[in-house]
């Protein structure tokens, strides 16, 4: 049986895989430059980062799975929220607006240290936020969700 490497430091990605009974043999945090390139569109950024994460893994044999999520409005890309203050700023920016969530995955099959198969997929979801009251934002901030997540929020089904 071949190894499966998850090229991600995201606990949410691991949780999503485990929810469909996929258990990676190893989880490795990729070390790549995640800066947006000049004039790079958000959907292209998500695809590039997912592929760069997968390509940064050096294995002899197995499968590598990676992903990236980019949150954007028409004019701005929102990074991961690193603090409670950033989550609040992002939520205020999203209040009453439509945003795009670009989720990209990349998968590589490796044999003898070389890529023998690869694939990528991008899915874009549009979310329309209602206007948030100050109290609603504070309630969300008090839940301690959002820090470390692209755009400062996560959708649950």
The separation between the first and the last C-alpha atoms of the chain, rounded to the nearest angstrom, is: 32
* Other beta carbons less than 10 A from residue 5's beta carbon: 20
The token pair that represents 88 in the structure block? 């609040």
> CA–CA distance from 154 to each of 76, 91, 112 (Å)?
18, 12, 38
Location of structure tokens 């790549």:
32
Note if 79 is an active site residue. Answer: no
Q: What's the residue count for the chain?
A: 157
Q: Choose the catalytic residue: 25, 52, 68, 142.
A: 68
* Other beta carbons less than 10 A from residue 15's beta carbon: 9
Active-site annotation, residues: 68
């Amino acid at each position: 049986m071949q190894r499966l490497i998850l090229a991600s430091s995201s606990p949410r990605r691991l949780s999503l895989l485990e929810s469909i009974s996929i258990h990676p043999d190893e989880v490795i945090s990729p070390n790549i430059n995640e800066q947006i390139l000049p004039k790079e569109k958000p959907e292209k950024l998500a695809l590039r980062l997912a592929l760069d994460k997968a390509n940064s893994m050096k294995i002899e044999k197995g499968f590598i799975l990676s992903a990236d999520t980019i949150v954007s409005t028409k004019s701005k890309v929102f990074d991961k929220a690193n603090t409670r203050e950033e989550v609040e700023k992002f939520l205020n920016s999203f209040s009453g607006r439509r945003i795009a969530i670009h989720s990209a995955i990349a998968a590589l099959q490796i044999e003898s240290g070389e890529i023998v198969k690869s694939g990528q997929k991008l899915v874009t979801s549009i979310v329309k936020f209602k206007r948030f009251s100050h109290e609603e934002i504070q309630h969300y901030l008090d839940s301690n969700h959002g820090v470390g997540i692209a755009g400062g929020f996560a959708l649950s089904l």
